[in-house]
Structure 1
Amino acid sequence: MANILDVSTEDNLQYQFFPLSNGSVTFQVKAANDAHIALTQGPQESDPMYEIFIGGWSNAKSVIRKNRTKPDVVEIETPGILSGSEFRGFWVRWDSGIISAGREGEAIPFISWTDPEPFPVAFVGVCTGWGATGTWKIEDGAPFETEDKLEYKFGPVVAGSLEVDFRGPSNCHVCLSNVPAENDTMYEFIIGGWENTKSAIRYCRQKPDKAEVPTRDILNADEFRKLLIEWKCGRFLVRDGSSGAVIMEWTDATPFPVTHFGVRTGWGARGQWRIRHFYGPGQQQIAAPSAPVAYATPAGYPGAASAGGALVWADAAGGQVPPGAVVGGQDCSGEPLYVARAPHEGAIIPGKLVGSHGCAYIPWGGAEHGKSEYQVLVGGPNNWVPTSGSSIPPGAFPAGESEDGEPLFIGRVSHEGSMTTGKVQQSHGVCYISFAGQELGFPEYEVLTA
């Protein structure tokens, strides 16, 4: 699936990571020097790892480095390869252990290296530093097609908006979901349906539609039409991508977390697509891979795993999201919130991870406490059971304990356009969440069960 990412990087040598769908990535970058690209297995800086430094050493040379160790595996002179005033295009490829980088429009790489012990690459990271900031346009894959069979193709959500370039006669369908598969928890945007005469917003595949507007000839089989889909705090908008005019909108009072989008065509239509996400300075990609990875639970933490070992805790820090992290909710900005926990004042307290903030938050003592080091729940089912008061449902997953040794469970509540995870303390009969600097208690909530 073709994804185009607009990214800004600061002068801090901190990678922003994005998922990949194939063995290459093309991009344009505007930076005076030191455009750094990382290829990794997960969405964080960790070994094994390939790094390609383009225009390093004051825009004089480029290198390839493995596992952040010196000497570099290859180094070449590339004077003036980057520009701080104009975009320069490049590509990076990896195949059968061959890592290579080249200029846009050139088939021969300007730098390459063969790794005798290659590893699978699933993420690309970009950063700038050594006095340089950068503006990037990153493309993963080529424009793609959907057939006339009403089957969604899914990709991970990067931010709270999608810009869609679509060429087709009718029935441009886009969905937002909490899993990379068609299910009964979806928002669907049917654009140019009913033989290109009207458009609609559909909730959880239910009729009647939540919004319906006439949009005769909104799509065209001979040219790309630009559409913008935005979501924030439960409000969903479809705009004309050229003028910005709102085509249709709807607000969900109790929104569910969005982690993936899907696209499809049908009812006699095929389509060509390009999908663009937007990111600004300091924002971090939140990846939600569907394949869980097993982690060992460090000593001293209760609730190592559920029966059968399906749920485990993974150490993380600084906004890192381990592969297979359990999505517990959604911030009012549309960003996924992950189930996390951290020690505090002799307790181990469940809370939420907000990756773009670089920390997890836990509720305690009437206040919200940020933790740069934390653990994230990984793998297993994602079952939430409604309850209230001190009624803890069977199979509730123990996630920590109070300073007095009372077990704490994982709960979540809907509050001010968000779905926020926190702690359930049975003796108190409420679920506590951290929100806007406070600890808030709710007598009605959902509990995570294994």
Structure 2
Amino acid sequence: MANVLDVSTEDNLQYQFFPVSSGSVQFKVRTPNDAHVALTMGPQESDPMYEVFIGGWGNTKSVIRRNRTKPDKVEIETPGIVNGGEFRGFWVRWDGGIISAGREGEAIPFISWSDPEPFPVAFVGVSTGWGATGTWKIEDGAEFDTPDNLQYKFGPVAAGSLEFDFRGPHNCHVCLTSAPAEVDPIYEIILGGWENSQSVIRYCRQKPEKVTVPTPGLMNANDFRKYIVEWRCGRISVRDGKTGQVVMDWVDPSPFPITHFGVRTGWGARGNWRIVHFNKDGIQQPLPPSAPSAAALYAPPPGYPGGAPPAAGGAVWVDACSGQVPPGAVVGGQDCSGEPLYVARAQHEGAMLPGKLAASHQCAYVPWGGVENGKQQYQVLVGGSNNWVPTSGSNIPPGAFPGGESEDGEPLYVGRVRHEGSITTGKVQQTHGVCYIPFAGQELGFPEYEILMA
């Protein structure tokens, strides 16, 4: 039985977002019209973005929209598809660029569209509007099976951990990769292998194993067992989800960015899985408030009296570390792999430098001294307008958002640049006339860039 997350949405078209770690979400909704589902890279309403409107236009039709622009990608007549007096069940899936939605119990979608330029989905949002409020029951950890064929089923990761329940006689296999495929580099975790006698951590499908521990009777064909896999700064840990006891632990001296997980069974075993889609108790747990650290860390330029942190329509800087992404973090761009990059900043050599946060790397990066500097401790921009304006050189438009200062006390602004398939955020230094970005180990300067506005 799947866990259920209860959500209420007001008549305001404001999405409530939750992370996902598989390619689908199942839910029941009670609303007279306009059940809206958003699929995004970050926990806020920002492009790229898919939207599925179920029962829109007075509960007469449904559409799929990309990046909040018209014309809609597909539109169908669905009179009476939702109901304000009873729950109706639906599912939404995204797989290989195909976005589809269907009714509970029906395998064939009632609406679908294939995106020729898909992006990785890490969050789902739900909302209602246009005269409608809604009550939702979003299923968490819906069960699925893996056959006895050693073929991984892949999904995107949304944080530095994966929680799951597994029921099977032996050979519970989990992999962590930088792509939705069985390619190197790859970490593999085998729980209850060798006829349920031992467990291992393997790197790039090579022997000897990095870790081998005896685990007789670890798995059970009749009962679900819960486990948590975590990755932080190259440390791969496997814990018993019930007791918290560490089953295996290994540190990779040269870690790679993890963007996807895979699960499989084999060697005579079939498995039944529940992958936890949402954070603890179905609620994104906010990080502790960053006590007036912003005032201590940031010397505000003129116009920001009292040492208050910079604000852009409610924007604040929130302390985080080791790949943590606070709820509401601003997505400033995306990496070459399609992973979202969040607007971040960190202290370095006496400066407070805007840069980027790549959650799968478990750190933020800031440009300084000609190199890309990784930072385990950083601040993430939360809230604000997320409005970017193209400019060049030393032309800082009025109202640009100050995001830090140089070691000499010069205000630094938040900029971004399109480079080698990425949109990478960094620092704008007016006296230098460029936007510097951290990229592939280097600090790169660009005279043409976009700047974040307050």
For normalisation by structure 1, the TM-score amounts to: 0.53
Map residues 164-183 of structure 1 onto 2, 5 A cutoff.
164-183=164-183
Q: Distance in 2 between matches of 1:187 and 1:243?
A: 24
Give the paired residue count. Answer: 343
Q: Distance in 1 between matches of 2:208 and 2:177?
A: 19
Map residues 205-244 of structure 1 onto 2, 5 A cutoff.
205=205, 208-244=208-244
Instruction: Tell me, yes or no, if the aligned pair for 2:20 and 2:278 is still in contact at 8 Å.
Output: no
Map residues 319-330 of structure 1 onto 2, 5 A cutoff.
319=331, 321-322=333-334, 324-325=336-337
Q: Distance in 1 between matches of 2:337 and 2:149?
A: 34
Instruction: Tell me, yes or no, if the aligned pair for 2:37 and 2:127 is still in contact at 8 Å.
Output: no
Q: Distance in 2 between matches of 1:230 and 1:98?
A: 29
Identify if the C-alpha distance between structure 1 residues 378 and 80 changes in structure 2 by more than 3 Å, giving closer, same or farther: farther
In structure 1, the residue matched to 2:353 is: none
In structure 2, the residue matched to 1:80 is: 84
Q: Distance in 1 between matches of 2:124 and 2:443?
A: 33
In structure 2, the residue matched to 1:374 is: 416
Instruction: Tell me, yes or no, if the aligned pair for 2:145 and 2:270 is still in contact at 8 Å.
Output: no
Instruction: Tell me, yes or no, if the aligned pair for 2:192 and 2:199 is still in contact at 8 Å.
Output: yes
Equivalent residue of 1:263, what SS? Answer: strand
Equivalent residue of 1:194, what SS? Answer: helix
Map residues 92-111 of structure 1 onto 2, 5 A cutoff.
92=92, 101-102=102-103, 104-105=104-105
Equivalent residue of 2:154, what SS? Answer: strand
Report the aligned-residue RMSD: 5.9
What letter corresponds to residue 147 of structure 1 in structure 2?
A: D
What letter corresponds to residue 128 of structure 1 in structure 2?
A: S
Report the more deviating stretch, 229-238 or 402-411: 402-411
In structure 1, the residue matched to 2:52 is: 51
What letter corresponds to residue 28 of structure 1 in structure 2?
A: F
In structure 2, the residue matched to 1:446 is: none
Identify if the C-alpha distance between structure 1 residues 331 and 210 changes in structure 2 by more than 3 Å, giving closer, same or farther: farther
Instruction: Tell me, yes or no, if the aligned pair for 1:324 and 1:378 is still in contact at 8 Å.
Output: yes
How high is the sequence identity, in percent, across the aligned residues? 37
Equivalent residue of 2:155, what SS? Answer: strand
Identify if the C-alpha distance between structure 1 residues 338 and 234 changes in structure 2 by more than 3 Å, giving closer, same or farther: closer
What letter corresponds to residue 374 of structure 1 in structure 2?
A: R
In structure 2, the residue matched to 1:423 is: 443
Map residues 132-151 of structure 1 onto 2, 5 A cutoff.
136-137=138-139, 143-149=144-150, 151=151
Q: Distance in 1 between matches of 2:418 and 2:362?
A: 13
Deviation at 1:157, TM superposition (A): 1.2
Q: Does 1:365 align with 2:364?
A: no
Equivalent residue of 1:13, what SS? Answer: coil
What letter corresponds to residue 192 of structure 1 in structure 2?
A: G
Instruction: Tell me, yes or no, if the aligned pair for 1:339 and 1:350 is still in contact at 8 Å.
Output: yes
Cα-to-partner distance string for 1:215-255 (whole Å, 9 max, x where unaligned): 11111344443322223344433222344443233445664
Instruction: Tell me, yes or no, if the aligned pair for 2:148 and 2:267 is still in contact at 8 Å.
Output: no
Deviation at 1:207, TM superposition (A): 5.1
Q: Distance in 1 between matches of 2:338 and 2:99?
A: 34
Give structure 1 stretches of 5+ with no counterpart. 285-316, 342-347, 381-398, 413-420, 426-450
Instruction: Tell me, yes or no, if the aligned pair for 1:349 and 1:400 is still in contact at 8 Å.
Output: no
What letter corresponds to residue 247 of structure 2 in structure 1?
A: I
What letter corresponds to residue 217 of structure 1 in structure 2?
A: G
Give structure 2 stretches of 5+ with no counterpart. 287-328, 343-355, 389-401, 446-454
Q: Distance in 2 between matches of 1:145 and 1:205?
A: 20
Identify if the C-alpha distance between structure 1 residues 255 and 364 changes in structure 2 by more than 3 Å, giving closer, same or farther: farther
In structure 1, the residue matched to 2:293 is: none
Cα-to-partner distance string for 1:109-160 (whole Å, 9 max, x where unaligned): 9xx6799xx75687584223567786632678x72324344x5443321222
Deviation at 1:364, TM superposition (A): 5.6
Which of 62, 65, 81 is the matching residue for 1:64?
A: 62
Identify if the C-alpha distance between structure 1 residues 282 and 125 changes in structure 2 by more than 3 Å, giving closer, same or farther: same
What letter corresponds to residue 260 of structure 1 in structure 2?
A: H
For normalisation by structure 2, the TM-score amounts to: 0.52
Identify if the C-alpha distance between structure 1 residues 225 and 113 changes in structure 2 by more than 3 Å, giving closer, same or farther: closer
Report the more deviating stretch, 71-80 or 192-201: 71-80
Instruction: Tell me, yes or no, if the aligned pair for 2:412 and 2:428 is still in contact at 8 Å.
Output: no
Equivalent residue of 1:277, what SS? Answer: coil
Instruction: Tell me, yes or no, if the aligned pair for 2:163 and 2:276 is still in contact at 8 Å.
Output: yes
In structure 1, the residue matched to 2:125 is: 126
